[in-house]
Chain A
Amino acid sequence: MIPEALTLGTALIAVAAFASGLAAVMLLYGYVSRSEEFRRLTMAAAGVSTLSLVVAHGYLTYLFVVGDYTYAYVWQNSADYLSLLYRITGVYANHEGSILFWATLTAVVATWTVYSSHFEGRGSRLAQSISLGIVAVFATMLVSQSPFTPIEVAYPDTPAGFVPPDGDGLNPLLIDPWMAIHPPITFAAYALLIVPFALGIAHFVSQFRGEVSVFDEWLESMVQWLRVSWLLLTAAIVFGGIWAYGVLGWGGFWSWDPVETAVLIPWLGLTASLHAINRYGKTGEYPIFAPASAALIFPLVIFATTVVRSGVFRSVHSFAAGGIGTGILFLLGVTGTLAIVLPFGYWFLRAEETQRPADEPWLSRRTVYHGAVLAFGVLAFISIWGLSFPVLRSAATGVEVAVGQDHYNLWSYPVVVLGLLAGGLYALLDLRRRRLAIAATGVVAVLTFLAAFVTPSANWYLSDPAAHDPLVYRIVGTASVLSIVPPAAFFAGSWIARYVSRIRGVPSRWFKLRETGIVLLHVGGAVLIVAVSFVYLFSTSASVAVIGVGEAADNPEPIVEEVPDSEYTVAVSNYETTEAPTIEEAARTPAEMLAVSEDVSLVRGEITDTDTIENTAVARLDDSDVWLASSDAAVDFETGTEVIARGPVFGGQSLETDADAYVYTDTDNMGTLEDPPTDVHEPRMVSHEIDLTVYDGDEPVAEGTIAEQEYVNSEMNTNDALIERGVTGDTYVVGQVDEGGASISIDTYPLANQIWLGTVLMMLGIAIVTIADTTVRRR
């Protein structure tokens, strides 16, 4: 390693890499040799590893908060004008920082299992060794691609010791409150999956060695981890959707962009796994699939990370593209292979054929439940395949193919319908009314089929397939979206019926609470599926250009435009621009100016002394060594006034603290604090805002502000939408705005609130189940 690259932060990460590696090796030794002799050293090593990562992450956050641009990563992802929240967002805005964050959380989780007294015994040592081994891989990756790389190492052309006066900025798309919390939640969810992975792998190793696995011992707590992870991952996806809806205008909540698809894959895997493990815990079914699925989610997460970071999968999230660490690919290869090969190997070589009770009918609860688990697997595969085959095919033949939303929507749709039918049937079978259950499901299946042909208008078709599209797309695409209603209603109804029947007469409050959580989860899922199916097909769009909105600023009369091809009218009543940073914020104090040593500086301060040197008027600022100088006769330096001035700095190249520095200015470049010389100021961001009212006929349907932000450095713009929420749907107004004009589009998203309702119910449900189970266990 280059010595100058070894900064304090990198050293901390290197310590973590070494300590976690050491702990992993000692734990493995403990497992193999059946000894506990290095117990205390192991705990110390794991502790040191986590502590160094926590400190490193804290230190990086500190560097962002104070704006220390000695480090390239900080410089690339932050700037002085950003508020505290977005400086902290910058910490995980890019590859290095987010991996550090993920590694830190993973280390905390892994070390906790080492310290906790719950996890004793040989198999636990193996699981802990695997977890800490992965922490070591993460940390090693970070040593070679460190967020603490000094700017002169990352950019060899910069002069030694140069510290940029201001950061390069944060990707404008990330300047949003939802984006501030989305990554931490995502990575917390990811971090929790390390233990199920380690346990799943340890389980199969134990099985192969003919030993007792600790999987069952850990099962209850592991299920809770998986549930919390599921909750967090769901929240992360929802927040991402809210962000896309509010900030991007890229087509609503979801656009089957590779990054969005990627994050859904571990979620589907996790959902399938929770179902399998739930069954395993109760009845011992899925003896191979349950631990295998637990192990498989982590590689799926790594796969998702590869999609997000590699740049191989073309995505609208171009901020995420960039070099991917070989470490990630290594992790994907190793964890994926382990999680697939071990269970399969065990299945082929060792597993005994499970016997089914002779009297069990073919259409049993077990079979139906299995169908539902498989449905999640198939959904995950549709997404994985949709992401992968264009890349594979292009690599193999050079032919590029398009994978649009039809691939995901139309293939998934029948699977979802079948999944809903199976889920509903399962709930009814649980009521032990077998005949009724099968008959009801049959009726609903027929209704579903019939509903597929009911299309009151063209909007109801699932897709708009062209004549040359593949047959499957033409068949599924010409079905009516109404066909989702009978199975979803049946599913929700069956789960409610099951709930009512199960809690009736049961005195345990915790049992009832748990069942409430379960029913909320399933009903929420049904609501979500229906809302999502309808929202896209029935969303409408209309747009209009309004010219000369700049004039609306001074005009009491709003500019009114009718929106073509619609009943809408828009009235623009105000136009405003705001800048960040403002000139007052951008101007440096004399002390800051001396610290950053620029050729041309914008400085502010109170004139505390005036003088004349060789016909040049000079004025001292804030009793410091910084003086303003001007030979412009019109400039009037007056003691006691606070001024902002810009100009070339004389004597400022190698300023000693006791040397004087002069900023040469003139009337155009100087002004008082009340009347600053705004023309000399280049803000990082200019926001154009208009107030408007949208009428549908004579009825006002939306009123508020829309805005467009221009980010000068990154040549990127963002838009603030105006969202008027209603029970039946949202009116969504967004547009490109500048002084010359605004191009406003008015969209409607029906059932938007029902999407949020569905996800809230699901998150509430899983939280209740988790809490109820924890409390019951404690007792």
Chain B
Amino acid sequence: MTPRKLLTIVVLIAVLGFGYYSMNAAPVLSDHDYTYQGGLEWHEDPDEAMAVAQAEEKPILVYYWTTWCTYCQDYERNHYQDEDVRDELDGYVLLAINLDDPGPGVEFAREHEASYPPQHVIMTDDGQQLSRLGGFTELDRFHAELESGLEQYEQ
């Protein structure tokens, strides 16, 4: 065997290995039940989220995102990883709607006039809008909004 052939075969095997490995190593965005923005479990179906919210008596946080939105990546990396934010999020039922492929969330997107990512809407379990964060917000403000959303809901 020539060195070149050997090199080719080695590279081919490496490439196949890479293909298999990278496919399985990629972080899961969504499975059949949830979507995983920022490593959190978000509902994708508004009806489901509403039912859960009513059962648990929690407000709903709706997150409009897309795969290509760089601000959404900021949310993933910073905001959702923040301990304080995560604490606040525990008080919410999470609903994420991918604007490129909203599925059952299409009605919600229209109602909330969410035409570009990222957007957050806080609402009660009966669909009443409490507050709305259009576009990107700094961490502090995001946290404050989540906090005040919970307070408003309590009242």
Contacts and interface: CB of A to CB of B under 8 A. Distances in A.
Contact of B21 (A316, A371, A374, A470): A470
Given A366-B4, A367-B7, A399 B25 contact: no
A393 B22 CA distance: 12
Nearest to A543: B138
A316 B99 CA distance: 12
A395 B31 CA distance: 12
B39 to A, nearest CB: 8
A684 B18 CA distance: 50
Contact of B22 (A255, A378, A389): A389
A354 interface: yes
Interface in B16-30: 18-19, 21-23, 25-30
B21 A472 contact: yes
Interface stretch (B53-61, B67-75, B104-112): B67-75
A469 B69 CA distance: 21
B61 to A, nearest CB: 20
A400 B30 contact: yes
Nearest to A381: B15
Nearest to A399: B31
Given A257-B68, A400-B30, A411 B4 contact: no
A275 interface: no
A417 B31 CA distance: 36
B2 interface: yes
A356 interface: yes
Nearest to A315: B68
Contacts of B119: none
A212 interface: no
A155 interface: no
Interface residues of B, number: 32
Interface in A407-442: 407, 411
Interface string B87-108: 0000000000000110000000
B73 A404 contact: yes
B66 interface: yes
Interface centre among A356, A377, A402 (most CB of B within 10 A): A402
A364 interface: yes
B8 interface: yes
Nearest to B69: A316
Interface centre among B8, B22, B25, B73 (most CB of A within 10 A): B22
A314 B26 contact: no
A472 B115 contact: no
A704 interface: no
A715 interface: yes
A348 interface: no
B11 interface: yes
A382 interface: yes
Contacts of B115: 715
A370 interface: yes
A370 B8 contact: yes
B7 A370 contact: yes
A399 B28 contact: yes
B31 A314 contact: no
Nearest to B115: A715
Interface in A387-406: 389-390, 393, 398-404
A314 B66 contact: yes
A393 B23 contact: yes
A407 B11 contact: no
B19 A316 contact: no
A407 B4 contact: no
Contacts of B28: 399-402
Contacts of B15: 378, 381
Contacts of A403: 26
Given A389-B19, A402-B29, A314 B68 contact: yes
A316 B18 CA distance: 27
Nearest to B35: A400
A159 interface: no
A374 B11 contact: yes
A389 B21 contact: no
Contacts of B26: 389-390, 401-403, 407
Contacts of A464: 77
B100 A314 contact: yes
A356 B5 CA distance: 11
A563 B151 CA distance: 31
B71 to A, nearest CB: 10
A62 interface: no
A390 B27 CA distance: 11
Contact of A402 (B11, B67, B70): B67
A251 interface: yes
B4 A370 contact: yes
B25 A314 contact: no
Contacts of A367: 3-4, 7
Contacts of B22: 385-386, 389, 407, 411
A374 B70 contact: no
A538 interface: no
Given A314-B67, A367-B7, A403-B26, A356 B2 contact: yes
Contacts of A250: 70
A22 to B, nearest CB: 43
Contacts of B32: 398-399
Contacts of A366: 3-4
Contacts of A411: 18, 22
A619 B100 CA distance: 53
A470 B35 CA distance: 20
Contacts of A393: 23
B2 A316 contact: no
A738 to B, nearest CB: 13
Interface centre among B15, B26, B31 (most CB of A within 10 A): B26
Contact of B3 (A362, A386, A401, A470): A362
A404 B26 CA distance: 9
Contacts of B70: 250-251, 255
A309 to B, nearest CB: 16
Interface in B129-145: none
A316 B68 contact: yes
Nearest to A405: B73
Contacts of A364: 3
A407 B26 CA distance: 8
B67 to A, nearest CB: 5
Contacts of B35: 400
A250 B11 CA distance: 35
A640 B69 CA distance: 56
A398 B31 contact: yes
Contacts of A354: 2
Contact of B25 (A251, A255, A378, A472): A472
Interface centre among B4, B8, B73 (most CB of A within 10 A): B4
B32 to A, nearest CB: 6
Given A251-B70, A407-B26, 19 more contacts: A255-B68, A257-B68, A314-B67, A316-B69, A362-B3, A367-B3, A374-B7, A385-B18, A386-B22, A389-B26, A393-B23, A399-B31, A400-B28, A400-B35, A402-B26, A402-B27, A402-B29, A402-B67, A469-B25
Interface of A: 250-251, 255, 257, 314-316, 318, 354, 356, 362-364, 366-367, 370-371, 374, 377-378, 381-382, 385-386, 389-390, 393, 398-404, 407, 411, 464, 469-470, 472-473, 715
28 contacts: A250-B70, A251-B70, A314-B100, A364-B3, A366-B4, A367-B3, A367-B4, A370-B8, A374-B11, A378-B11, A378-B14, A378-B15, A385-B19, A385-B22, A385-B23, A389-B19, A393-B23, A398-B31, A399-B31, A399-B32, A400-B30, A400-B31, A400-B35, A401-B26, A407-B26, A411-B22, A464-B77, A715-B115
Interface of B: 2-4, 7-8, 11, 14-15, 18-19, 21-23, 25-32, 35, 66-70, 73, 77, 100-101, 115
